[in-house]
Every structure is written in structure tokens, then in C-alpha cells.
Amino acid sequence: MAHAALVIIDMQRDFVEPGGFGASLGNDVTPLQAIIPAIRGVLQAWRAAGGFVVHTREGHLPDLSDCPPAKRERGHPSLRIGDAGPMGRVLVIGEPGHSIVPELMPIEGELVIDKPGKGAFYRTPLQAELQSRGITQLVFMGVTTEVCVQTSMREANDRGYECLLVEDGTASYFPEFKAATLAMLTAQGAIVGWTAASAELIEALRHPTP
């Protein structure tokens, strides 16, 4: 545990709750809400085991100077990044929708990383923070499986971290995308990383193998 970190990707109101950016793209947010209990269970067990926790949030500065036009203009959402919505300006740091859902709020001592892109390492201090703590193994949960979670796992793999994805602690607006991502990550002998169910991880945390 001294060399492991739990990384919870983008469990933000803008992605998980109705009225946020995810819903503005026409998506059903129900599959994302459904994983909150599994994530909470792992998070509680991880905290009890004394493990280090990282939370990420995708968002941009109020002037959108860190949001490239190619990102803001892509797709056909009813609300674009920076527009005012039911939970404040969409994907803007400091707005209500940018915050992590109440069930998974960080506590004192946990690291919160604000990222302008899909990957957790891109233009963030995450690598330096992990290195300073001697972290070599990362356990991932969060949303969405095929976008920010997969991107972050691949970034971590390129940097030499051993990676594990909690299967029922991640979700996509498109179930088939989640299934395909799990297959890609674990193909060829877990070329990017392994997967496990939350119950397996919680059991291992409660009864570690000597």
C-alpha cells in the first residue's frame, strides 16, 4: 500500500448528474450514477487501509484560455464548455457542476488534480506528486471508461506504472464502449493493465496476502 494510489477519474456533477455536460450531449447519465456505490465501497476500504487517494476533475479556467477551439467546438451539445447551464458554467473550475459528487467528496490529505484534458497526466502535477511519494502502482475508477479513464491508464502505462481498473467502478454512456475498452486494456497479457471486481479488491484490502 505504501507504493499504491487509488485514482478516481472525473466523478463530477457535470458528467454524472442530469443537467450537466454529459446530459447536454444527449446521454443517459444513469449508467454513471450506478457505479457510485462500488466506487464508494472501494474508497472507504482504501482509506481504512491507509492508502493514498487521488481525485481528478476535468475543467477549464473561467476565460477558457486552456480550452482549445477544437475541443470546445467538437460535437453537437446543447451546452458547450463555458456556457451557463443548470449547474453553472459547464466544465469551468469553481462552478457547481465542476465539483465531485457528494458521495465521493475528497477528505483532508487526498490529492485533487484539475486537468484541462482527458488524461490525468497532461498539464498536471500528477507525475511529480506520485514520484515524490514513491508510488509505482495505480488503481483506477471513474468515468468515462473509453475516454478519460482509458487515456489516463495509457498515460500511466507509458510512464511505467502498474495499472488496475475496477470493472464495476467505471462506466460509459455507451455500454458497448466500456466492454470494448476493457478488452483492449487487458488484451495480450494485460498490455495496458489488469481489471478486477470491486469485491475482489475490497477483500484483498481487508485481508492482504503476506
Which residues are part of the catalytic machinery?
10, 115, 148
The C-alpha atoms of residue 9 and residue 3 are separated, in whole angstroms, by 19
Element holding 101 (H helix, E strand): none
In DSSP terms, 9 is beta-bridged to 56, 142
Residue found under cell 480550452: 67
Instruction: Identify whether the C-beta of residue 147 lies closer than 8 Å to the C-beta of residue 118.
Output: yes
Contacts of 119 (CB under 8 A, 6+ apart): 148, 151, 152, 154, 155
| Distance in Å from the first CA to the final CA of the chain | 12
Residue 206 burial (C-beta neighbours within 10 Å; 0-12, 13-18, 19+): exposed
CA distance 110 to 52: 7
The CB-side HSE value for 178 (13 A sphere, CA atoms) comes to 20
Question: From edge to edge, which strands make up the β-sheet containing 111-115?
Answer: 111-115, 52-58, 4-9, 137-143, 162-171, 194-196
